[in-house]
Structure 1
Amino acid sequence: MHWLEEQPQKSVIYVVFGSFTIFSEVQFKELAHGLVLTGQPFLWVVRPDFTTGLSKEWVDEFLEVNKEKCKIVSWAPQQQVLAHESVACFMSHCGWNSTLEGLKNGLPFLCWPYFTDQFMNQSYICNVWRNGLKMEADESGIVSRETVRDRVEELLASEEIAKKVQELKELAARSLRIGGSSYQNFKRFVNLMMGE
């Protein structure tokens, strides 16, 4: 959180892929270099088992060379990070919790699903709500560093996506207020649990 405080407003790419996603060494390096190519600061959550075959020396050198713009951690308080004013966008596996948290905090998405419902969530984000873009692999199955750079630039420059993000944030806030749809649904659930 201290590192986020030092970053300019709406500048940071927050990157996290949930508990199960696994990247190959090649894909990990392409993503790392792509994030650097954007010129934006980025906070990347990397679990210890996120990739295999990556040498500690490569990671240490990457971090040293890019220490001004890059923060890699094994865990982050996601709700606090997504609510922080320095975060510009959310590169996500599109798990349902992450999707709802990103919507609530008014962030555009870069969608990179891994399995099951994440693909449906991506479809909603990109095709129905239109508050994000899909990361697309090339013929070899890799999302290249140039694609990472280009999609980040496209997302951050899109006025249409920025408008949709704000609309969805306002809808989410309204549903959580007293009398809102989420509030009412939760209240009904509590009443059912209490036998009322």
Structure 2
Amino acid sequence: MRASASGVVVNTFDAIEASELAKIQTELSQPAFAVGPLHKLSPAAAAEHNFLHAPDRSCLAWLDAHPPRSVLYVSLGSVACVDRAVFDEMARGLAGSGVPFLWVIRPGSVRGAAEDAPPLPAGLDMNRGKVVPWAPQRDILAHPAIGGFWTHCGWNSTLESVYEGVPMLTQPCFADQTVNARYVTHQWGVGLELGEVFDRERVAEAVRKLMVGEEGAVMRARARRLKIQANQSAAATLAIDNLVKYIYSL
């Protein structure tokens, strides 16, 4: 592949991965084109028929009733699964945090559970929360009521959150997600790790720290700065123009 490749196209932008792009070019001796965030450069990709499941759009009206930056959005993506014990601690931690939350519980997302959405723990106070089987994630992250994103750190979700200036709670599950989470927390400083010790008290503490704590406020300010850079990248066509010119020159 290296011998036959004429270049590399990457869904990213210079402000978050300039050194990585430089390393790719050096190692391959080929140009690397950072054309992201692609979800903003290709509006057709956001068409509703491309969703994995039919999204419950009623959650947007639910968000309308909440103050700015007050709701935590929780979604572990389209593939990742958790054990039942982890799921129960997530639920009890969210309910105990005192923070409003919108939680996507995908059918089949809990190991060993039926294909339907797993039942929440008995006696759980859900007055502050809303649960949906699937959601229009990009619209949710762009909603002014969203103040944080509890995510598995898949690259698409990470870029979508960065683009909207939303700080993150990271719970990586496999593959590139652990590295992505490390960038979110240690490289860019726009997120918190939930950590390997996972219980309801730690969950509630992490949620409050991100949503209402001073540390979360600092991360939110950093996330806003990244948002400006991501929006500037999406608004400019230079990367795509350079890629087109390069393709024509081959």
* Partner of residue 75, structure 1: 134
The one-letter code matched in structure 2 to 1:47 is R
Distance 1:62 1:73, change over 3 A: farther
Q: Tell me which of 218, 221, 243 is aligned to 1:163.
A: 221
Change over 3 Å in CA distance of 1:53–1:189 after alignment to 2: same
- Residue 143 (structure 2) aligns with: 84
Select the residue among 154, 173, 176 that pairs with 1:95: 154
Note the C-alpha offset of 1:128: 0.5
Q: Return the offset for 1:23.
A: 1.1
Q: Which has the larger radius of gyration?
A: 2
Q: Distance in 2 between matches of 1:15 and 1:30?
A: 14
| Aligned length in residues | 185
Deviation at 1:113, TM superposition (A): 0.4
Q: Which residue of 2 aligns with 1:136?
A: 195
**1:76, CA displacement in angstroms?**
0.5
**Matched AA of 1:186:** I
Tell me the TM-score normalized by structure 1.
0.86
Q: 1:137, 1:144 within 8 Å by CA — same for their partners in 2?
A: no
1:28 correspondence with 2:83 = no
Query: Could you tell me which residue of structure 2 aligns to residue 37 of structure 1?
Result: 96
**TM-aligned CA distance change 1:23 to 1:168, over 3 Å:** same
SS in 2 for 1:37: helix
Q: 1:174 aligns with which of 222, 232, 235?
A: 232
In 2, the alpha carbon distance for the partners of 1:23 and 1:192 equals: 44
Helix, strand or coil for the counterpart of 1:44? strand
Residue 53 of structure 1, CA deviation: 4.8
Match of 2:240 in 1: 186
- Superposed CA deviations along residues 29-86 of structure 1, whole A, max 9, x for unmatched, are 10001001111111111111001455889438567x41x3111111111100000001
- Counterparts of 1:76 and 1:58, CA distance in 2: 18
2:220 maps to amino acid: A
1:8 matched to 2:62? The reply is no
Structure 2 stretches lacking a partner, 5+ long: 1-59
Please state whether the residue corresponding to 1:48 is helix, strand or coil: coil
- In structure 1, the gaps of 5 or more residues are none
Equivalence for 1:116: 175
Report the aligned-residue RMSD: 2.1
Percent identity between the two aligned chains: 35
Which amino acid is the alignment partner of residue 207 of structure 2?
A: V
